[in-house]
Amino acid sequence: MTKKKLVVIGAGMASGRMLEHLLEGGGPESKNWDVTLFNGEPRGNYNRLMLSPVLSGEKTYEQIVTHDDDWYEAQGIACRFGEQITQIDRERQVVVSKGGETPYDALVIATGSAPFIIPVQGKDLPGVCTYRDLEDTNAMIAASRPGAKAVVIGGGLLGLEAAAGMAARGAEVTVIHLMGHLMERQLDPSAGYLLQKDLERRGIRVHCKGATKAILGKDRVEAVLLDDGTVYDADLVCMAVGIRPEVRLANDAHLEVGRGIVVNDQMQTSDLAIYALGECVEHEKQLFGLVAPLYDQAKILAETLNGNTAAFQPVQTATKLKVTGVDLFSAGDFAEGPGREDIVFRDPGRGVYKRLILEGDRLLGAVMYGDTADGSWFFDLIKQGKDVSDIRDTLIFGPAFAAGGAAANPLAAVAALPPEAEICGCNGVCKGKIIQAVEGGATTLDAVRATTKASSSCGTCTGLVEKVMALTLGDSFTANANPPMCKCTDHTHEDVRRMIKAQGLKSIPAVMQELGWKTVGGCASCRPALNYYLLADWPLEYRDDRQSRFVNERNHANIQKDGTYSVVPRMWGGVTTPAELRAIADAADKYNVPMVKVTGGQRIDLLGVKKEDLPAIWSDFNEAGMVSGHAYAKGLRTVKTCVGEQFCRFGTQDSTGLGIKLEKLLWGSWTPAKVKLGVSGCPRNCAEATCKDVGVVCVDSGYQISVAGAAGMDVKETELLCTVPTEEEALEVIAAFAQLYRENARYLHRIYKWVAKVGLDWCKDQIADRATRKALYDRFMISQSVYQTDPWAELAERPADWAPIKTLTLEAAE
């Protein structure tokens, strides 16, 4: 019998497995084929997945070869390695390569994928590689001398394995990732945060939200430039931003191609003699990027070629990252969606995060970090679509509990701890010591903190300490009188602020993980607060999260009851000029402003502006030299002034001038709640300084600075903070006081509420101490170096963001 000619293009993971099934079966069919195997790479099949251990030095290339010369010989395969197929001639059933034409009866396309190259300047410089084959791996190994600098573009699976591998060889590695967190397709922000922390601990620098603008260098790569202006030096750049099915041959041959080569359940293309499998195919609109489904395809194709009927059905895949010591797992669908619920478990101490996604009684997805021992059990439940309603309460604790362990009662777990069990890690306080303190009369958390030091440092153990207290005190225990921030956490605002600083937490996901948030992504109450705390504590490192801000601060304008906005440009110290007034009048005309009103804060309000018009009106004001008045902000609002010595017969100092200087010093700063100032030129107090957050009353000998006034829902006179002789000192004291407030108050507390809690005397002490005052002032100025910018300078450039994404009324009218 004459054998049929089978030509295979590509010796990759998929075709290798397919040939095993086809030829090793031993049955009579396996002798039907005369196989020719072409491969673009100058070698046969090897385990591509294992390139990462080769890169990191944990394995050698020889150890990852899957099929050697002996095997090909035993199977009678004609090997044509290093020989690219350049054309398929379907009419004559031949493939073309540099060695000439090769005829086929059946053809298998298994060309895999090609790495995606972002089209930036410098992409073709020597020293830029991708991560796909042994050549790439060897290039990275060669470049990873200790101290060499490598930049990896792309923080997905491949990019991170490349980064970890090069770092393991001693290179200084930076990962640039476009999205907000690493591996966003497999991980949610919490798990992404833990992963980033683990990588940073290995010395890998991670830059999220980074868009590559250009790769710099003359004869070879020297650095990478990002959109935000950051430059990272680089001896090597690895682009790992994604892959594209390698479909060129199929396209040229006019096979049906979508994103991949279209195949049916039998792995057959639109040409009956041509089959395809692996990453180059598209099956029911789906592409494949992991080997598990490719192995199934290999089995199906072998059956098809042997004349049997079998149908390919894609299975769910689970992801693991092959970086030694990093433990993550993700499977199924973890997007939030209609009718879906989350179960979240966080153990900040161990760096563990687990999240299960349920729909009805079924488990849909799982994301885990730090402890993935139960991953395969969950994966099984997902694949089988099992009803989990019976074990739902303890599901997150894994199979051990599901098998009928004790109910997960957290109080019982604490009760079971022996007296010598450590509760507070920072201060080494054990359970027995806390019980002793409570029995000795320390019945409040503060008292326990004072007597034992437990929970007084990083604070993460507060919940545990309270549980020990509850066990000891029984019903007479009332938890922390100060209520928690919101339903997402048990911690108070004060505790959260303290822990953000003590633990160096610098992102919202970091806070939520380390402080054990009970929800996945917070709520409308805690997100704005956390955003403020983080930007106040880490001005240089944290980036403002616009989506965690209330509408007015997000849109830099005050929303009105009808959905329009009001626009208030700054009028420094209440002083204006004819030119500014003209600009305001012009804007009012141009944008049909329904009302122009003088505010109670000595400036002009344009009310009723349409959202779409905000960028344009502000760009007009910017052009006229005017900036946002932040009339909407938890930040500096106005500095009211009176005319002062310049004109007034009683004026003792230049109150107008000081007011302007103060507004120019403080504007743009974000604060826990709004801040309003007044500067009066004498004790007659025409600027109402004594009912402001901070008021200055000028007197002959200098400046009386008083604080904590109110004239809104509460009315309260200010109290004297200090008196200073010079304007210069007045400015320093007030900026330092503002910083004290910024660093210590809870979100939404005006100054008078905060001072009532911490005591005016404490504030006085801080300000009176020269060194402390200076340090506060310096920290304020650092923050201003970032935040004292007119928001509209940047926002007005993006008018499209403020318009509807689509207007259907026009089309409908046609």
Ligand X SMILES: Cc1cc2nc3c(=O)[nH]c(=O)nc-3n(C[C@H](O)[C@H](O)[C@H](O)COP(=O)(O)OP(=O)(O)OC[C@H]3O[C@@H](n4cnc5c(N)ncnc54)[C@H](O)[C@@H]3O)c2cc1C
Q: Interface with another protein by CB under 8 A: which residues?
A: 180, 188-189, 334-340, 342, 519-524, 527-528, 546-551, 554-555, 559, 561-563, 800, 804-809, 811-813
Contacts 24+ apart (CB under 8 A), 289-298: 289/113, 289/243, 290/317, 290/319, 291/13, 291/14, 291/49, 292/317, 293/317, 294/13, 294/14, 294/17, 295/14, 295/17, 297/14, 297/18, 297/267, 298/14, 298/15, 298/17, 298/18, 298/20, 298/21
809 interface partner picked from ligand SRM, ligand X, another protein, none, CB below 5 to 8 A per type: another protein
Element (H, E) at 357: strand 352-359
Residues pairing with 358 in the sheet: 341, 363
14 interface partner picked from ligand X, another protein, ligand SRM, none, CB below 5 to 8 A per type: ligand X
Structure-block tokens of residue 610: 């349409």
From the annotation, which residues make up the binding site? 642, 648, 682, 686
Structure-block tokens of residue 2: 């004459």
Measured from the CB atom, the residue of 456 and 566 that comes closer to ligand SRM is: 566
314 interface partner picked from another protein, ligand SRM, ligand X, none, CB below 5 to 8 A per type: none
Measured from the CB atom, the residue of 490 and 605 that comes closer to ligand SRM is: 605
d(CA 808, CA 813): 9
Measured from the CB atom, the residue of 278 and 678 that comes closer to ligand X is: 278
d(CA 10, CA 95): 13
Measured from the CB atom, the residue of 300 and 499 that comes closer to ligand X is: 300
The distance of closest approach from Cβ of residue 289 to ligand X in the complex, given in angstroms and rounded to an integer, is 6
Structure-block tokens of residue 26: 């031993």
Residue 429 has phi, psi (to 5 degrees) of -105, 125
From the annotation, which residues make up the binding site for siroheme? 686
d(CA 33, CA 175): 47
For 316, which DSSP code? Answer: P
> Where on the phi/psi map is residue 217: left (φ > 0), alpha (ψ -120 to 50), or beta?
left
Measured from the CB atom, the residue of 460 and 602 that comes closer to ligand SRM is: 602
d(CA 536, CA 322): 37
561 interface partner picked from another protein, ligand SRM, ligand X, none, CB below 5 to 8 A per type: another protein
15 interface partner picked from ligand X, ligand SRM, another protein, none, CB below 5 to 8 A per type: ligand X
The distance of closest approach from Cβ of residue 523 to ligand X in the complex, given in angstroms and rounded to an integer, is 36
Measured from the CB atom, the residue of 360 and 600 that comes closer to ligand SRM is: 600
Q: How far apart, in Å, are the Cα atoms of 291 and each of 16, 49, 294, 454, 665?
A: 12, 9, 5, 50, 60
The distance of closest approach from Cβ of residue 687 to ligand SRM in the complex, given in angstroms and rounded to an integer, is 9
599 interface partner picked from ligand X, ligand SRM, another protein, none, CB below 5 to 8 A per type: ligand SRM
Packing angle, helices 727-744 and 655-666, rounded to 10: 40
Can you tell me whether residue 180 is helix, strand or coil? Answer: coil
d(CA 152, CA 129): 10
The distance of closest approach from Cβ of residue 715 to ligand SRM in the complex, given in angstroms and rounded to an integer, is 8
For 50, which DSSP code? Answer: G
Burial of 510-519, coded b for 16+ CB within 10 Å and e otherwise, reads: bbbbbbbbee
Measured from the CB atom, the residue of 566 and 628 that comes closer to ligand SRM is: 566
Measured from the CB atom, the residue of 372 and 462 that comes closer to ligand X is: 372
Q: 566 with 603: CB under 8 angstroms?
A: no
> Where on the chain is the footprint of ligand X (CB under 6 A)?
9-15, 38-41, 48-49, 51-52, 84-85, 110-112, 131-132, 158, 161, 246, 249, 278-279, 289-291, 294, 322
The distance of closest approach from Cβ of residue 637 to ligand SRM in the complex, given in angstroms and rounded to an integer, is 5
> Where on the chain is the footprint of ligand SRM (CB under 6 A)?
558, 560, 566, 568, 597, 599-601, 603, 605, 631, 637-638, 676, 710-713, 750
Structure-block tokens of residue 300: 């199906």
User: Following CA atoms 498, 504, 509, 511 in sequence, which dihedral angle do they give, to the nearest 10 degrees?
Assistant: -20
> Where on the phi/psi map is residue 728: left (φ > 0), alpha (ψ -120 to 50), or beta?
alpha
Measured from the CB atom, the residue of 164 and 366 that comes closer to another protein is: 366
Separation of CA 556 from chain center = 23
638 interface partner picked from another protein, ligand X, ligand SRM, none, CB below 5 to 8 A per type: ligand SRM
Measured from the CB atom, the residue of 243 and 520 that comes closer to another protein is: 520
Measured from the CB atom, the residue of 419 and 712 that comes closer to ligand SRM is: 712
The distance of closest approach from Cβ of residue 47 to ligand X in the complex, given in angstroms and rounded to an integer, is 8
Over its C-alpha atoms, the chain yields an Rg (Å, rounded) of 34
Q: 356 with 365: CB under 8 angstroms?
A: yes
Q: 745 with 726: CB under 8 angstroms?
A: no
601 interface partner picked from ligand SRM, ligand X, another protein, none, CB below 5 to 8 A per type: ligand SRM
339 interface partner picked from ligand SRM, ligand X, another protein, none, CB below 5 to 8 A per type: another protein
Can you tell me whether residue 100 is helix, strand or coil? Answer: strand
What is the distance between the terminal CA atoms of the chain, rounded to a whole angstrom?
70
631 interface partner picked from ligand SRM, ligand X, another protein, none, CB below 5 to 8 A per type: ligand SRM
The distance of closest approach from Cβ of residue 175 to ligand X in the complex, given in angstroms and rounded to an integer, is 15
Separation of CA 676 from chain center = 34
10 Å Cβ neighbour count for 317?
Answer: 15
Which residues make Cβ contacts (< 8 Å) with residue 240, sequence separation at least 6?
115, 130, 131, 152, 153, 154, 156, 158, 159, 162
The distance of closest approach from Cβ of residue 522 to another protein in the complex, given in angstroms and rounded to an integer, is 6
The distance of closest approach from Cβ of residue 523 to another protein in the complex, given in angstroms and rounded to an integer, is 5
Measured from the CB atom, the residue of 194 and 631 that comes closer to ligand SRM is: 631
805 interface partner picked from another protein, ligand SRM, ligand X, none, CB below 5 to 8 A per type: another protein
Measured from the CB atom, the residue of 595 and 800 that comes closer to another protein is: 800
d(CA 192, CA 521): 13
Can you tell me whether residue 341 is helix, strand or coil? Answer: strand
Amino acid at 670: W
The distance of closest approach from Cβ of residue 812 to another protein in the complex, given in angstroms and rounded to an integer, is 5
195 interface partner picked from ligand X, another protein, ligand SRM, none, CB below 5 to 8 A per type: none
59 interface partner picked from ligand SRM, another protein, ligand X, none, CB below 5 to 8 A per type: none
Q: 456 with 425: CB under 8 angstroms?
A: no
Q: 186 with 155: CB under 8 angstroms?
A: no
From the annotation, which residues make up the binding site for [4Fe-4S] cluster? 642, 648, 682, 686
The distance of closest approach from Cβ of residue 183 to another protein in the complex, given in angstroms and rounded to an integer, is 13
Measured from the CB atom, the residue of 180 and 702 that comes closer to another protein is: 180
d(CA 346, CA 519): 10
Element (H, E) at 304: helix 291-305
Structure-block tokens of residue 632: 């909407």
The distance of closest approach from Cβ of residue 195 to ligand SRM in the complex, given in angstroms and rounded to an integer, is 40
Residues pairing with 710 in the sheet: 716
The distance of closest approach from Cβ of residue 2 to ligand X in the complex, given in angstroms and rounded to an integer, is 26
d(CA 744, CA 758): 9
Which residues make Cβ contacts (< 8 Å) with residue 47, sequence separation at least 6?
13, 64, 65, 66
613 interface partner picked from ligand SRM, another protein, ligand X, none, CB below 5 to 8 A per type: none
The distance of closest approach from Cβ of residue 334 to another protein in the complex, given in angstroms and rounded to an integer, is 7
